[in-house]
């Protein structure tokens, strides 16, 4: 079980979206769940992403300040991932 950094609920790993900081410092969604890097988990729910961003939980979990542009791209990728936009 993993804890969502937005709503703090616990769910099986495979039901969650993993966000990682790659070794070269990029923030991306890890669809395979197998990439190396520091990771954080979120429900497949954009509200959870927004809570995590608002409370700086993502920065804290990934131990990195995330630039606004990266947040923007991450949010788009997240929406794509959960099927909100194509
Ligand atoms: Zn959540």
- Give the three-class secondary structure for 77: helix
CA of 5 to the centre of ligand 1 (A): 7
CA of 52 to the centre of ligand 1 (A): 9
Determine the average pLDDT of the residues in 56-62.
96
**pLDDT score for 86:** 60
**pLDDT score for 32:** 87
Phi, psi of 25 (to 5 degrees): 90, 10
pLDDT tens digits along 26-57: 999 998 888 888 999 999 999 999 999 999 99
Residue 83: pLDDT above 80?
A: yes
Distance (Å, rounded) from C-alpha 1 to C-alpha 71?
Answer: 26
CA nearest to 13, candidates 41, 32, 34, 35: 41
Determine the average pLDDT of the residues in 11-20.
95
Residue 81: pLDDT above 80?
A: yes
CA nearest to 61, candidates 8, 5, 9, 14: 5
């Amino acid at each position: 079980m993993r804890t969502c950094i937005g709503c703090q609920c616990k769910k099986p790993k495979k039901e969650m979206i993993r966000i990682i900081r790659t070794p070269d410092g990029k923030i991306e969604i890890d669809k395979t769940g197998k990439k190396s890097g520091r990771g954080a988990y979120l429900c497949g729910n954009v509200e959870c992403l927004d809570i995590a961003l608002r409370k700086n939980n993502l920065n804290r979990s990934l131990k990195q300040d995330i630039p606004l542009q990266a947040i923007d791209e991450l949010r788009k990728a997240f929406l794509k991932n959960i099927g909100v936009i194509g």
